[in-house]
Amino acid sequence: MDFLDKTALEIGGLIRQKELGVVEATRHALERIEETEPQVNAYIQVLEEQALAQAGTVQKRIDSGEALSPLAGVPMGLKDNICTKGIGTTCGSRMLEGFRPPYSATVAKKLEDAGAVLLGKLNMDEFAMGGSTETSWFGPTKNPWNPGHVPGGSSGGGAAAVAVGSAFYALGSDTGGSIRQPCSFCGISGIKPTYGAVSRYGLVAYASSLDQIGPMGRSIQDCAAILSLLEGHDNRDSTSVQRPPLDFSRSFGGDVNGLRIGVPKGYFGDGLDADVKEPILRAAKMLESLGAVVEEFDLPIADYAVPAYYVVACAEASSNLSRYDGVKYGFRSEAGDTLQDVYYNSRSEGFGIEVKRRIMLGSFVLSSGYYDAYYKKGLQVRGLIQQSFQHAFEAYDMILSPNAPTTAYKLGENISDPLKMYLGDIHTVSVNLAGLPAVTVPCGFGKGGLPVGLQLIGRPFDEPTLVRAAHAFQMQTDYHKQHPQLAKGGNAK
């Protein structure tokens, strides 16, 4: 069986039809992990014993006739900022090295109930702050299409694992593009759900009003199936929305006739690399040829999304990360004797420089004297951005754009220029600020064979329409079926 060619739903189907055992699928995945990890470093922790034991349990449940989800028995990975009871959850940071939460995130429990098999915890930028997975305390993840390049971030581990086949799907988190951009850089599909669609309980918070957990997989159909398992109101998360489940029943017919797709002119200016622009515009043409109405338009205020995002995200992060003080859990420095020493030293030694930078920026924009000009202003600009999208959605059903201005850049290229890194978020952050859903699917390749992803942004809770368009695209293309060839040892096919 060629596992690399199978989607999660296909594997789930084979398991349900008893053509494949859960333990067998899990073993394969574990072998693939062993094969690829030396080059890719997608995982912070691999749970070999536990995964096999869990696989056995799931197999028993299936054998006993228990009705499980279409993804039952499929091995997957969780980004390491999603709490798993009794299992190390580090957020890619020294600060939480060794931390074992006494509870699981709601999404982790939902997947476990649905029969998923947890292979391990996936690498990420420290506390989800970054776009390249280079700030992880556990070393960077490499892009399997070219290991000298970044996989994107902050959910780089998940994107790389799915791309290289060391997980059939992964859960990531997206605060400013952290699912979409790595999916784009690694040539896989992903969804950032509408804010509040998926419970944040158990997701270690970065920016509370922006964070969402979402699926990363081999096809948009896989991602929709995963999202259906994750979504729903949670009494433990006041910001999760009470509404009926997302209805994907009409998302897989391939019909995009009459769908109105807007293409913001501002996203296609000089800042966009030609080798990204081309595949994106070709994809737009493809959708047009399928019957969609594709049109250029102006999305005002979009330029201000990045500064507004960094103000809001860093402010919330600076507060969310204050709890890491060496008192109750996590890293405590040996240096010093006083209480203040515990605070200063534990935090200074436990956090990396990017996290420290964002905390300080956040403290600044909230500090008295600057609050109105920065934080309050940022929240107001958020309102303007939301209005801008609302206006756009009067004319269009969705907005088409790149996920990033470039393909995956080289490791080390941007890490010492934070502002340059931040500017790379230009296509993704406005979506989080407005709370909107967005999907990404691979749509081509740029220089050096590095993948390019197409982003579709939709109205709140209109994931089904986005999936419909993305799936129609995938029915006509095979970018999502292509896999990276790892140099030595890791054979793609």
CA distance 197 to 206: 17
- Residue 109 is a binding residue for other proteins (CB under 8 A): no
Task: Tell me if 264 sits within 8 A of 222, measured CB to CB.
Answer: no
Q: Please tell me the number of Cα atoms within 13 Å of 75 on its side-chain side.
A: 34
For other proteins (CB under 8 A), the number of binding residues is 94
* Shortest CB 283 distance to other proteins, Å: 27
Residues from 448 through 467 that contact other proteins (CB under 8 A): 460
Contacts with other proteins, 431-450, as mask; x by CB under 8 A: --xxx---------------
By CB under 8 A, which span of 38-46, 99-107, 143-151, 250-258 interacts with other proteins? Answer: 99-107
| Residue 478 binds to other proteins (criterion: CB under 8 A) | no
| Residue 343 contacts other proteins per CB under 8 A | yes
Q: How far is the CB of 384 from other proteins (least distance, A)?
A: 6
Q: How far apart are CA 177 and CA 205, in angstroms?
A: 15
Letters for 295-334 (x = contact with other proteins by CB under 8 A, - = none) are ------x--x--xx-xx---xx-xx--xx-xxxxxxxx--
Is 225 in contact with 8 (CB distance < 8 Å)? yes
Nearer to other proteins, 103 or 252 (CB): 103
Give catalytic status of residue 333 as yes or no. no
Tokens of 453: 């992803």
| Calpha distance 433→307 (Å, rounded) | 11
CA distance readout (Å), 375 to 313, 364, 371? 10, 9, 5
Q: How many CB atoms lie within 10 A of CB 387?
A: 13
At residue 333, what are phi and psi to the nearest 5 degrees? Answer: -70, 150
Residue ranges in 375-414 that form contacts with other proteins under rule CB under 8 A: 375-384, 386
Q: Which is nearer to other proteins, 435 or 484 (CB)?
A: 435
Per CB under 8 A, the list member of 66, 247, 298, 341 interacting with other proteins is 341
202, 103 Cβ separation under 8 angstroms: yes
Alpha-carbon distance of 65 to 16, in angstroms, equals 10
Taking CB under 8 A as the criterion, which residues in 168-207 touch other proteins?
Answer: 195-196, 200-205
How far, in Å, are 266, 288, 390, 459, 461 from residue 394 at the CA level? Answer: 19, 19, 7, 10, 16
Positive or negative, the CA dihedral 384, 459, 470, 128 is: positive
**7 or 388: CB nearest other proteins:** 388
Stretch that binds other proteins, among 267-275, 374-382, 397-405, 473-481 (CB under 8 A): 374-382
- Which of 103, 248, 252, 268: binder of other proteins (CB under 8 A)? 103
The only residue of 39, 45, 50, 209 in contact with other proteins, by rule CB under 8 A: 209
CB of 197 to other proteins, least distance (A): 11
Considering beta carbons, is residue 328 or 488 the nearer one to other proteins? 328
CB of residue 277 to other proteins, shortest distance in Å: 24
Q: Which of 6, 69, 79, 184 is catalytic?
A: 79
Of the candidates 155, 173, 178, 318, the residue annotated as catalytic is 178
Residues 6+ apart with CB under 8 A from 349: 94, 331, 333, 335
Question: Which CB, 11 or 96, lies closer to other proteins?
Answer: 96
Residue 154 a catalytic site member? yes
Interacting residue with other proteins among 16, 24, 27, 99 (CB under 8 A): 99
**Annotated active-site residue in 93, 154, 166, 430:** 154
Complex with other proteins: residue 108 or 284, whichever CB lies closer: 108
Q: Based on CB atoms, which residue is closest to other proteins, 252 or 371?
A: 371
| E-only strand ranges, 52-144 | 75-79, 117-122
Q: Is 178 a catalytic residue?
A: yes
Kindly state the tokens that stand for 243: 């509404």
Q: What are phi and psi of 76, to 5 degrees?
A: -145, 175
Q: Which 3 state secondary structure label does DSSP give 293?
A: strand
**3-state SS class at 156:** helix
Minimum distance from CB of 137 to other proteins (Å)?
Answer: 15
**Residues 228-287 contacting other proteins, CB under 8 A:** 235-239, 241
- Other Cβ atoms within 10 Å of 364 Cβ, number: 17
By beta-carbon proximity to other proteins, the closer residue of 142 and 347 is 347
Exactly one of 52, 418, 464, 481 binds other proteins (CB under 8 A); that residue is 418
Dihedral angle, C-alpha 156, 157, 160, 165, nearest 10 °: -160
Site residues (CB under 8 A) for other proteins, limited to 53-92: 81-83, 89, 91
Strands 117-122 and 189-192, by their bridges, are unpaired
Cα gap 213→196, rounded to integer Å? 10
Minimum CB separation from other proteins for residue 214, in Å? 15
Nearest distance from C-beta of residue 331 to other proteins, angstroms: 8
Q: Write out the catalytic residue numbers.
A: 79, 154, 178
